[in-house]
Chain A
């Protein structure tokens, strides 16, 4: 009863408070993003060093902590080189086109539970767009323009090839990425990220389990989307110098670098939100809150400032976990060959992701008709979602699919090496020879026909 009374007093922040809160959020998120990105460059260097039994940067500041600052100062003070043949406008435009989408996309990701100031409640998300993920997908695909334009404007064969590869690769993997997202939409009935978090909280099951196949494909596709190893074809040092940013120097180069790490951060945060419950703290109901419903009523647990802090910590931990895996993979797995990347994207990921979507959709439909309906989980009745039982059934179905996918991928049928390509070629030659043999007309018969 008391809770009910308290809930009725809560109201959405509005007027001047809204303007101030939004400005503070934008400023805070932008600053945090830039600082984290800077620290990520240091983290990458440190982690790679430790993996190779080295120490990494340790001279600037305590334990090398000020290394990003030193790098930044160096990059700002450095002289820029502009290739004589480069297209001046696009050459300058490309780094901007690359960095802006990378920074903007973070705006739709909720990073903590709503913050309560007095009776006003501030949602901890810069822009709670109703189109959520669609906005994110649209903007993260814009990032490829920066790379393609950089490759073209540089007037350099390596840069051009890098840009081409980036374009081809991003288009190939965008499809699998979108398809992997489909099953999350099935379970939520919505594309808004706070509602996806809420669906996972009210289901008491993170989407990583019921949609493990989608999670797996999303993960792989996100490696390709961020141009990280093993999909860093656009900058492949050993074959393309450094690909699209071969001709860039000083701060322009630095902007590509910041864009890459901002992408890694955003994609990690997105994976944490979509599949690991976002800022949800596992096993605790006290943080299960959505925000204001359409009628202005509060949905979920009571907000509090300490809950905001705790959930921010949970969100950061999950994001950090994904970033760590990004780095672990980068320094473990060698780069794919270009044809292998295309094979994986079009011949494996696309059909497999489609099949997974079909199976998941069929399961949801079957559950619905078997009386385990696609219910409304919100108390006010406007939020769709699946129940815990439905989630468990989906978990079982997806576990089977994941085993099949991993079994097929593991046996070398997916990433065929040169050896099997050679085998295929030999086989094709033999077939061709046999066919030619079968069609050969006997010499005697041919001469008879001529005469």
Chain B
């Protein structure tokens, strides 16, 4: 099968090599002169300065807790149900007063697609996605965040999009 290349038919008098090359060199030279001496404004010097994240940035999860340190989670089971990537593992338990609480609550951050549905569906605003992105670890198993670790996260939580206030004002 012949390869079909779409070829532009340009008359010789309209095509240019020398002029086009000179124009290109002028453009690159202008950019060079503008950024010479590391004055480029587009670069964010990452480890030294960090980009301001959007309040709706969805990153590593946070579990909210009560004043006495218990997780706010009531183990209703909505988040593992809605999770599209099936990354939340929840084993519910019940204490003497009949209050439900999570015995095991684990999120596999590798499986997570950070859609934020767990936060949307949570009836008590316990699980959140957060404004955080630096989460390197040495092993894969450390990416499975358990309940303690989720409660220890200190970064701000994500502000979800509000349909009644689409511009976020």
Contact mask for chain B residues 1-35; partner A; CB cutoff 8 A; 1 contact, 0 none? 00001011110111111110100110111011011
Q: B22-55 toward A: CB 8 Å interface, digit per residue (1/0)?
A: 0011011101101110101011010000000000
- Which A residues from 13 to 64 make CB contacts under 8 A with B? 47, 49-56, 58, 63
A42 to B28, CA, bound (A): 18
Closest residue of chain A to B10 (Cβ to Cβ) is A419
Total interface residues on B, CB under 8 Å, equals: 29
Which residues of B sit under 8 angstroms from A50, Cβ to Cβ? 31-32, 34-36, 38, 40
Cα–Cα distance between A419 and B15 once the two chains are bound (Å): 11
> What is the bound-complex CA distance between A446 and B42, given in angstroms?
78
The answer to whether B40 touches A53 (Cβ under 8 A) is: yes
A257 at interface by CB-CB < 8 Å: no
A422-B7 in contact given A328-B25, A328-B28, A332-B24 (Cβ < 8 Å)? yes
Which of A173-181, A184-192, A408-416 sits within the interface? A408-416
Nearest to A230 among chain B residues (CB) is: B21
Q: Contacts A50-B31, A53-B35, A55-B43 given: A419-B25 contact, CB under 8 Å?
A: no
Q: Which of A50, A58, A422 has the most CB of B within 10 A?
A: A50
In the complex, the chain A residue whose C-beta lies closest to that of B36 is: A50
- Do B38 and A411 have beta carbons less than 8 Å apart? no
- Known contacts A417-B15, A418-B7; decide if A333 and B38 are in contact (CB<8 Å): no
Min C-beta distance of A5 to chain B, whole Å: 51
**Do B15 and A63 touch across chains, with their CB atoms under 8 A apart?**
no
Q: Tell me whether B15 and A411 are in contact (CB under 8 A).
A: yes
Q: Are B16 and A55 in contact (CB under 8 A)?
A: no
- Are B12 and A328 in touch, CB under 8 angstroms? no
- How would residues 138 to 152 of chain B score, 1 for a CB under 8 Å from any chain A CB and 0 otherwise? 000000000000000
**Closest A-chain residue to B41, C-beta based?**
A53
B15/A412 in contact, CB under 8 A: yes
Contacting residue for B31 out of A51, A329, A417, CB 8 A: A51
Known: A412-B10, A417-B10, A423-B9. A51 touches B28 (CB 8 A): yes
- A63 CA to B16 CA, complexed, in Å: 39
Query: Which residues from 395 to 451 on chain A have a C-beta closer than 8 Å to any C-beta of chain B?
Result: 406, 409-415, 417-420, 422-423
A331 at the binding interface (Cβ < 8 Å): yes
Query: A54 near B28 (CB under 8 angstroms)?
Result: no
Pick from A55, A328, A415: contact of B40, CB under 8 Å: A55
- Please, which residue of chain B has its CB at the minimum distance from the CB of A330? B28
CB <8 Å contact, B43 and A410 = no
Contacts of A412 in B (CB 8 A): 10, 12, 14-17
**Provided the pairs A53-B40, A412-B10, A418-B5 are in contact, do residues A331 and B15 lie with their beta carbons within 8 angstroms?**
no
Residues of B close to A419: CB separation below 8 A: 7-10
B28:A410 contact, CB within 8 angstroms: no
Q: Find the B residue at minimum CB distance from A422.
A: B7
Chain A residues with CB below 8 A from B13, complex form: 411
Q: Give the chain B neighbours of A418 by CB distance below 8 A.
A: 5, 7
Do A328 and B29 have beta carbons less than 8 Å apart? yes
Q: Return B15 CB to nearest CB of chain A, in Å.
A: 3
Asked if A332 and B21 sit within 8 Å, CB to CB, the answer is yes
In the assembled complex, how far is the CB of residue A402 from the closest CB belonging to chain B, in whole angstroms? 11
Residues of B within 8 A of A49 (CB): 35, 40
A47 touches B32 (CB 8 A): yes
Interface centre among B5, B7, B27 (most CB of A within 10 A): B7
Chain B residues with CB under 8 A of A328: 25, 28-29, 32
Contact A53 B12 (CB under 8 A): no
Say how far A109's CB is from chain B's closest CB, in angstroms. Answer: 27
Q: A405's closest neighbor in chain B, by CB? A: B18
Q: Write out the residue numbers on chain B whose beta carbons fall within 8 Å of the beta carbon of A415.
A: 17
Contact A410–B17 (Cβ < 8 Å): yes
- Is there an interface contact between B43 and A54, defined as CB atoms closer than 8 Å? yes
CB distance from A424 to the nearest CB of B (A): 12
Q: Which residue in A54, A333, A410, A420 is a CB contact (below 8 Å) of B19?
A: A410
Query: Chain A 324-353, CB within 8 Å of chain B: the 1/0 string?
Result: 000011011100000000000000000000
A contact residues around B45 at 8 Å (CB): 55
Chain A residue numbers with a CB within 8 Å of B34 are: 50, 53
Q: Is the CB of B35 within 8 A of A410?
A: no
**Distance in angstroms between the alpha carbons of A31 and B19 in the assembled complex:** 40
Known contacts: A331-B28, A413-B12. The answer to whether A53 contacts B17 by CB under 8 A is no
CB distance from A374 to the nearest CB of B (A): 33
In the complex, the chain A residue whose C-beta lies closest to that of B23 is: A332
Interface contacts beyond A50-B32, A413-B12: sample of 12 additional A-B pairs, CB < 8 Å, sorted by A: A47-B32, A49-B40, A51-B32, A53-B34, A53-B40, A328-B32, A333-B25, A409-B17, A410-B19, A411-B15, A414-B17, A419-B10
Q: Taking beta carbons and an 8 Å cutoff, which residues of B are in contact with A?
A: 5, 7-10, 12-19, 21, 24-25, 27-29, 31-32, 34-36, 38, 40, 42-43, 45
A-B contact pairs, 5 of them (CB 8 A): A58-B38, A410-B17, A411-B12, A412-B14, A412-B17
The 5 closest A-B CB pairs, nearest first, are A412-B15, A50-B35, A410-B18, A50-B32, A332-B24
